[in-house]
Amino acid sequence: SIFHHSQVETIHGPVRTQNSSWFRYTPREKRLIVFGSYPNTNPWGVAFDDWGNHVASHPIFANAFHATNPPYPEQHPAATGLPAYSGTCGHDFVDFPFWPEEMRGGFIKARYKPTNKIEFHKWLRKEDHYEEEFVFDLIFSTNLSFIPVDVGFGPRGDFYVCDWYNPVKGHMQYSLRDPRRDRTSGRIWRIVPKGATLQESPKIAEATIPELLENLKRSESKIRAWTRRELSWRDPAEVSKALDVWVAGLDPSDPRFRHHQVEAMWVARWNGELQSSLTDGLLKCEVPEARAAAVRQMRHENPDKAILGALADAATDPDAHVRMEAVIVASYLGTDGALEAILPVFEMPMGDHLRYAARCALNSEALRPAVNAKESSPILSAFFKSWDKKKDKPLVSKANAKDAAFDAQPDLKTVRIGCLPERMLYDTTSFTVSPGQPVKLVLSNPDATQHNLVIGKPGSVEELGLAGNEMAKDPSGLSRNFIPESDKILHHTKLVDPGSSETLRFTAPKEPGTYPYLCTFPGHWILMKGEMHVK
C-alpha cells in the first residue's frame, strides 16, 4: 500500500491509484497490477494461508477485495459490515510440526494499537470467506513502549517479533518532533515453545531442483514459499522438465495430493508457463480450495474460448469461494465474454463477501465497458438495485418501550454525531442544549475503527483522555469499552463497531457550562472530541 496518490512508471505505462491499494509485480514481464482500492487507510499485516488465500486486517479476508481498480482516481465502494480494522503490522501462520497441535493452522499477529500485544487466532472457513477467531495473547505488555511491528517464523521454526520499542507511538507532526522519540534502538524477540527442539534448517540455496520440488510437500508454508522463490531463480527449462517428472510421480492417495498439485501450478506460473492439463484437473477436482486456487490463475490468461468456458463452469460451482474467484477473474479479463460467463453467479445465493467482490468486479475499469453495454440486463439490474437498497439502509439502534417514551417528550433535543471515515474526528464538534433538557444522541460509525463517545464534567477532557490511554495496558480494557473509572464521566456509549450505531439518552445537566465529549479509545481523544454547551 502507498498512501494518498501513487503513480508508478512502468514499461507498459503509468499505474495510478488513490489512497491504499494492493500491488502485484511480475518481474519477468515487468508488469505492475493494482487492485483492491477502497476507502481505508492501509491494508496492514499481509500473509497467505495454506491455499494461497490473502489474509490482512484491513480487510481481514482480503481475497474478496482482489477485483482490479475502477478508473483513477475512483475507488471501489466502502465495505460496510465486512470485518476490518487497523493497528496490526504482521501475520504469520503456525505450521511447524513441533509447535502445539492446537495452534497449527492458526496464525499469530502483532497488534500495536490500541493495546500492545501478540495475538493468536484461529482461521475459520465460512460459506464465502474466512474469518479469524481470537484465542489468546501470546504476549501482552503493560509497557506501552513495546510496539510490535512485524512477526515471522525463521527457517528452524523459531518465531521472531520485531519490536519498535519507542515511548512515542504515532506519525503526526508532533509525534515526529517529540524529543522522547527514540530513533536509534529497537528489539527483536525470539519465541520457541517450552521444551521444543528446533528442527534443522531446510536445504534451499544448495539444493538440486528435484530436492527443491520435494520441499513443496513440507507442511511449513514459509519453507515452501522460500523454495518457490529459489526455483524462480533456476534455469526455467530445467525447472519445467523436473516439474513434469515430479507431478507425474505424485501419489493420488496422499491426503495432500491436491495441495501438491496446487504447489506445482504455482511453480509453473512463477516459471512463466501454464500447466494446462494440471490446471484443468484441479478445476474439476473434489477439493474446493484447490478449485478456487486454479480459478485464481485465470486472471493472468488470455480470454480465449477455453478460458471463458472454464470461467463459466466456475461461475456455477457449488462452492461460493470458487464463484467469488470467478467474478474477480472477470475484472482482469475485462471482456464481454468474461461478463457473460459470470452472470450465473448473480442468480445464486450470495453472502456479503461474495456480493462485495461481485460489485467491485462490475465497477472495475476493465469490465465497466462490458457492464455498460449490458446495462439493460435484468440480472445485473436486479443486483445493482439490491446493492443500492442495502447501501442506503440507515444505521439504526433498536428502541424499547422505555426509549420510545423518552423520545416522545415534547422538548426532546436530537443530536446526530458521526465518525468521519479515516479522519479520527467527529463530524459534529459542538452542540447546544438547555439545562435539564432531554437529549437523544445518536452516534453512528461508518469508520473502519471502533469508537465511543464519553461526556464529561467541565474541564475533564485531558484527564479522561489520558485515563483512556492508560487502559491500553489493561487486558480487560477492550471488554470494558475503554471507559475509564472516573466520577468525571456523566454519560457514555459503548464501543461502536464499524458500520453500527448507538443511541445515548440522557437529561442535560442543570448547571450551565461547557461539557466536553471525547472518544476514549486509546490515542483517539487528542483529535476526536467536541463540546456540549448547556445554556
pLDDT digits (tens, 9 = 90+) for 126-136: 999 999 999 99
Would you call 102 helix, strand, or coil by DSSP?
Answer: coil
The rounded radius of gyration (Å) of the Cα atoms in the chain is 26
- Answer yes or no: are the C-beta atoms of 31 and 25 closer than 8 Å: yes
Please report, as a single letter, which amino acid is at residue 157.
G
Q: How many CB atoms lie within 10 A of CB 283?
A: 21
Q: Supply 409's cell numbers.
A: 417528550
Angle of helix 320-333 relative to helix 288-296, nearest 10 degrees, comes to 0
Nearest Cα to Cα of residue 520 among 462, 473, 476: 462
Nearest Cα to Cα of residue 459 among 407, 513, 418, 410: 513
**What band does 40 get if pLDDT is binned at 50, 70 and 90?**
confident
The C-alpha atoms of residue 248 and residue 408 are separated, in whole angstroms, by 76
**What band does 174 get if pLDDT is binned at 50, 70 and 90?**
low
**For 112-150, how does the pLDDT look when each residue is reduced to its tens digit (9 = 90+)?**
888 889 999 999 999 999 999 999 999 999 888 899 999
Q: Supply 397's cell numbers.
A: 439502534
- Answer yes or no: are the C-beta atoms of 311 and 341 closer than 8 Å: yes
The C-alpha atoms of residue 212 and residue 164 are separated, in whole angstroms, by 35
User: Region 334-346: what's the mean pLDDT?
Assistant: 97
Q: How many CB atoms lie within 10 A of CB 167?
A: 12
- Answer yes or no: are the C-beta atoms of 20 and 57 closer than 8 Å: no
CA dihedral sign, ordered 188, 189, 192, 197: positive
**For 274-309, how does the pLDDT look when each residue is reduced to its tens digit (9 = 90+)?**
778 899 999 999 999 999 999 999 998 888 999 999
**For 418-461, how does the pLDDT look when each residue is reduced to its tens digit (9 = 90+)?**
999 878 899 999 999 999 999 999 999 988 789 999 999 999 99
The C-alpha atoms of residue 13 and residue 209 are separated, in whole angstroms, by 36
Would you call 491 helix, strand, or coil by DSSP?
Answer: strand
Lowest-pLDDT range of 90-99, 314-323, 345-354, 383-392: 383-392
Q: Is the pLDDT of residue 394 over 70?
A: no
Where along the chain do its domains lie?
5-191, 202-258, 274-391, 401-534
Average pLDDT, the chain: 92
Q: Supply 292's cell numbers.
A: 478456487
Q: Supply 494's cell numbers.
A: 459503548
The C-alpha atoms of residue 326 and residue 324 are separated, in whole angstroms, by 5
- Any long-range contacts for 24-28 (C-beta under 8 Å, 24+ apart)? 28/272
Q: Is the pLDDT of residue 395 over 50?
A: no
The C-alpha atoms of residue 39 and residue 277 are separated, in whole angstroms, by 40
The C-alpha atoms of residue 501 and residue 225 are separated, in whole angstroms, by 43
Q: Supply 401's cell numbers.
A: 418501550
List Cβ neighbours of 189 (8 Å cut-off, separation of 6 or more): 139, 160, 161, 163
Q: Which fold has domain 401-534?
A: Immunoglobulin-like (2.60.40)
Nearest Cα to Cα of residue 291 among 316, 274, 255: 316
pLDDT for 399? 60
- Answer yes or no: are the C-beta atoms of 39 and 422 closer than 8 Å: yes
Q: Edge to edge, what strands does the sheet with 187-191 contain?
A: 148-153, 159-163, 187-191
How would you classify the pairing of strands 513-518 and 454-456?
Answer: antiparallel
- Answer yes or no: are the C-beta atoms of 385 and 366 closer than 8 Å: no
pLDDT for 172? 63
The C-alpha atoms of residue 138 and residue 135 are separated, in whole angstroms, by 10
**For 182-228, how does the pLDDT look when each residue is reduced to its tens digit (9 = 90+)?**
888 899 999 999 999 999 999 999 999 999 999 999 999 999 999 99
Q: Supply 391's cell numbers.
A: 447501501
Nearest Cα to Cα of residue 103 among 126, 117, 120: 120
Nearest Cα to Cα of residue 518 among 435, 438, 443, 448: 443
List Cβ neighbours of 300 (8 Å cut-off, separation of 6 or more): 269, 332
